[in-house]
Structure 1
Amino acid sequence: MAQEFDTVIRWTGNRGDGTRSYRGYDRTWDIAAPGKPVIHCSNDPMLGGDPTKMNPEDLLLSALSACHMLWYLHLASAAGVVVTGYQDQPVGQGETLASGAGRFLSAELRPEIEVAAGTDLEEAAAIHGRIHEVCFIARSVNFPVTCAPVFRQI
């Protein structure tokens, strides 16, 4: 089944002279989608971006983590694993070449998952191994993604 996803990306960094000079404009933009809050973005702070705003690398890593989480919750529910809390602090490793071209080399998801007391933690952990077969974002990236979950029974 084909799907279509759409957003609007609007550059907000024109200080009045557009791109007349390299340092004369900001690398900021807004992401908008119908009926959803606007996300204000900037490029990586290493490249002069605003460190208080999301950048493309943050967004990609967050999308990867969120997709994994949503599939985990779905598969856990189907397996009878009761999840009561989920938080991830994923880390992406990248490189930037002398030319300025960059890319992700890898990403590690580090979810901390709260499960009901008595949960079979081996079964809960095994679910992670099945997610990349179905996760839209993980199936779309060209770098390895690993997962190092930590479980806490409550």
Structure 2
Amino acid sequence: MSVYTTLQELGITLPQVAAPAAAYLPFVQTGNLVFLSGHISKKDGAVWAGQLGRELTTAQGQEAARLVAIDLLGTLHAATGNLDRIRRVVKLMGLVNSLPTFTEQHLVINGASELFGKVFGAKGQHARSAFGVAQIPLGAAVEIELIVELE
């Protein structure tokens, strides 16, 4: 089944690639690997700011991570021209804006990991890191970067 059929079944519309907010590219391809720059959490077109363990719950963080994953899919579509070219989601790195006492970063980033599993099936299973950080640009709750391999 096409990735686009799965996205349609999930009710997901791919967003346009956002213009970089600083001196970087949204993605770079080298060989069969595509590296996507970090995407920050947004809700209703605005930065979804907040700190996990203070203003935001783990469940809200998971939703923020899921929305970041949707933004990453939009950028990935722009980078590849066709999401069906994805051979494998290789690595995901998640940063979670959180209090020092918050220890559920791995559960927050599951919001993105689980979506990639639903969209790509076995090809969406990936290596991953999840870190708690003191701050993310613009106060965003979550930032995620991604590496994929193309057919």
Give the TM interval when normalised to the shorter protein. Answer: 0.3 to 0.5
TM-score (norm 2): 0.32
Higher relative contact order (CA 8 A, sep 6+): 2
Q: Per residue, is there more helix in 1 or in 2?
A: 2
TM-score (norm 1): 0.32
